Amino acid sequence: MKKQLHYILFSFLFLLSPIAQIVAQPLSSKQVDELVEKTLKAFDVPGIAVGIIKDGKLIHAKGYGVRSLNTGQKVDEHTLFGIASNSKAYTAAALAMLVDEKKIKWDDKVTLYIPEFKMYHAYVTSEFTIRDLLTHRSGLGLGAGDLMMWPDSNINTKQDIIQGLQFLKPVSSYRTKYDYNNNLYIVAGEVIARVSGMSWENFIEQRIMQPLNMNHSATSLYRLKDKTNIAAPHCFVNDKLQQITLGWSETANAAGGIWSNITDLSKWVIMQLDSGRHIYSEQKEKIQLFSQAVQQEMWTPQTIIPVRGPTPYNTHFSTYGLGWGISDVMGYKQVSHTGGLAGMVTQVTLIPELNLGIIVLTNQQVGSAFSAITNTIKDAYFGIQKKDRITEYHDRVAKNDARAKKITEEVWQELAQPKNITFANSIYTGNYNDSWFGDITISEKEGKLIFVSKKSPRLIGNLLYYKGNTFVVKWNDRSLDADAFVVFSLDKNGMAVAVKMEAISPATDFSFDFQDLEFKRVE
């Protein structure tokens, strides 16, 4: 017994010793500078902006690198980035404000406000709630229907998107599985518009941004009052890092349209960490933007996201709330989200129990860059030492890139092989229609087959023969990085009557949801 007591006492004293304790040592500004400079080089990112919020104060706000490779102009804490899907938390907050005002309830049916709203199955339509719009549990597949608003040249209206949802076939049962969806946030934005009598854009700017003094931000690129300090998007085109076209479909603003910077976003984060309270500039006192009750609802798990394999912070559970991802990290609750446009990705991370917020904005589309920065900053607050997050994520990116490159190179090698086959292009030419995406035309020009989309003009390219009745469409716009298989089905007379598509590379952005298209010949 004495021996056991001695062991317990020793163990207790050991736990109290400096060696045994995990001591948090936040990074200094100089260390953050060094971290970000290394990240710029490791991931070929032209420019990054970082903000750290602790105990209600913005303790680090700085830009690094350049906002444009073409101009060489520097990034600073005021440089505006498209925050993409980090906009979803604003849409959720706007709905929360309407809940506070008793104008809606989270579990109201969507058809109460948008009678024309329809999903593929009538039962799902009748049961679909505002909460469902925000929680990625609709039964639709990952990114289903995104081609109605992606890439940015798409000319669909919000009504076209609402109309098109009914034709998207589910891949899982309603409310059983997490699959990220953008279009339902567009519908959520329309609920806000119809209930408030204001457009989603006006509501967010007047009811959220103005009270928070987010004076340089806007709900879309085109609504920015001052465009003299904006980041340009970049990606690799033909193995060379280049500045690419800047844009976003205005129909999708409620899912990802907001442009902001570190100084403005810090005010949003401080308000979130203070239970919806903020200091209104005119009154110089704290007022409540939305109640603590609705904030807790937004930060309460709604949809389970599977956690498989090892995680950086001993994470056991990952979920999606209302506009936020929620998980456990080192025993703390983490509330976070990421966002991605073509050539620009961002991340916002909150650790409420530490009163800590981290914002990372980048103008290249490799998400591992913001992960390396955020996690290194978190490591310091968690007392984790000697973890090289940059190398960890760099190696992972290199492995995934090598795998994707191998797959695409094999396809291009096959395309380069001489083909001992002849066919008439007229077998495949004609007009085809998909019920939600609209029309495409397969035409012939100078002996080559050309793919043209009517509603998404950037989706135009040559069809190259692959095997059987399968072709590869090589998009003229090489920045899309989304070449795809185009598979024709023939009738008994040997004429093409239908078309299916599939992205070639596993690295293709999920918003190119070619796999959901089912084209039928219309003439």
Residue 310 pLDDT: 87
Tokens matching residue 191: 């609920």
Task: Give the DSSP H/E element, type plus range, for residue 372.
Answer: helix 368-382
Give yes or no for residue 352 having a pLDDT over 70.
yes
* Number of residues written out for the chain: 523
CA-to-CA distance for 306 and 291, rounded, in angstroms? 30
Burial class (CB in 10 A: 0-12, 13-18, 19+), 238: exposed
Distances (CA, A) of 2 to 5, 9, 10, 18, 43: 5, 10, 12, 26, 58
CA-to-CA distance for 16 and 382, rounded, in angstroms? 17
Measured between its terminal Cα atoms, the distance across the chain in Å is: 90
Task: Give the DSSP H/E element, type plus range, for residue 445.
Answer: strand 438-445
Which backbone phi and psi does 354 adopt, to 5 degrees?
A: -100, 0
Q: What is the pLDDT of residues 168-190, one digit of tens each?
A: 999 999 999 999 999 999 999 99
With a CB cutoff of 8 Å and minimum separation 6, the contacts of 22 are 382, 383, 384
The half-sphere exposure of 296 on its side-chain side, counting CA atoms within 13 A, is: 3
pLDDT confidence of 14, banded at 50, 70, 90? very low
The angle that helices 88-100 and 183-196 make with each other, rounded to 10 degrees, is: 30
The half-sphere exposure of 80 on its side-chain side, counting CA atoms within 13 A, is: 22
Tokens matching residue 273: 């960490």
Q: Do residues 212 and 267 touch, judged by C-beta distance below 8 A?
A: yes
For the ranges 151-155, 338-342, 515-519, the lowest mean pLDDT is seen at 151-155
Task: Answer positive or negative: Cα dihedral of 155, 160, 165, 169.
Answer: negative
Q: What is the pLDDT of residues 30-60, one digit of tens each?
A: 999 999 999 999 999 999 999 999 999 999 9
CA-to-CA distance for 357 and 351, rounded, in angstroms? 6
| 491 or 421, which is more confident | 491
Ordered by where they begin, the domains of the chain are 29-387 (3.40.710.10), 425-521 (2.40.128.50)
Q: What is the pLDDT of residues 217-268, one digit of tens each?
A: 999 999 999 999 999 999 999 999 999 998 788 999 999 999 999 999 999 9
Which backbone phi and psi does 20 adopt, to 5 degrees?
A: -80, -30
Mean pLDDT of the 130-142 span: 98
For the ranges 10-24, 75-89, 108-122, 509-523, the lowest mean pLDDT is seen at 10-24
pLDDT confidence of 282, banded at 50, 70, 90? low
Residue 11 pLDDT: 36
CB-CB neighbours of 46 under 10 Å? 24
pLDDT confidence of 419, banded at 50, 70, 90? confident
For the ranges 125-129, 259-263, 286-290, 301-305, the lowest mean pLDDT is seen at 286-290
Residue 152 pLDDT: 80
